[in-house]
Amino acid sequence: MSAALVIGRKLANEGADGRTVACVTCHGPDLRGQPIAPPIAGRPATYLVRQLFDLRAGVRNGEGAAMMQPVVDNMSVEDMIDLAAFIASLPP
């Protein structure tokens, strides 16, 4: 497994040293969604990075965006890319 996928898996499952929380917390253990968060497993990496970047930049609005804002505030672009690579590698 590439370094990006290893780091992305850690971010998705465990979060990162107070910078962000684990995706599985809201999106479910398989990242296929729960009532409070949509499925993200298997989505294209470019789509995921764009969404994370837009959330961090405050471009997205709405209840879901408000919930995600503190999650992405301290993520680096590298974090976003690694996370997106891992999530995109999962079956939808």
Q: Are 28 and 34 in contact (CB under 8 A)?
A: yes
- CA angle, corner 56, sides to 52 and 60, nearest 5? 80
Q: Are 70 and 52 in contact (CB under 8 A)?
A: no
Domain count, the chain: 1
From first to last of the 92 residues of the chain, give the pLDDT tens digit. 899 999 999 999 999 888 899 999 999 999 999 999 999 999 999 999 999 999 999 999 888 899 999 999 999 999 999 999 999 999 99
**CATH classification of the domain holding 32:** 1.10.760.10
Domain that holds residue 54: 3-88
For residue 12, count CB atoms less than 10 angstroms from its CB and return exposed for 0-12, middle for 13-18, buried for 19 or more. Answer: buried
- pTM of the predicted structure, to 2 decimals: 0.94
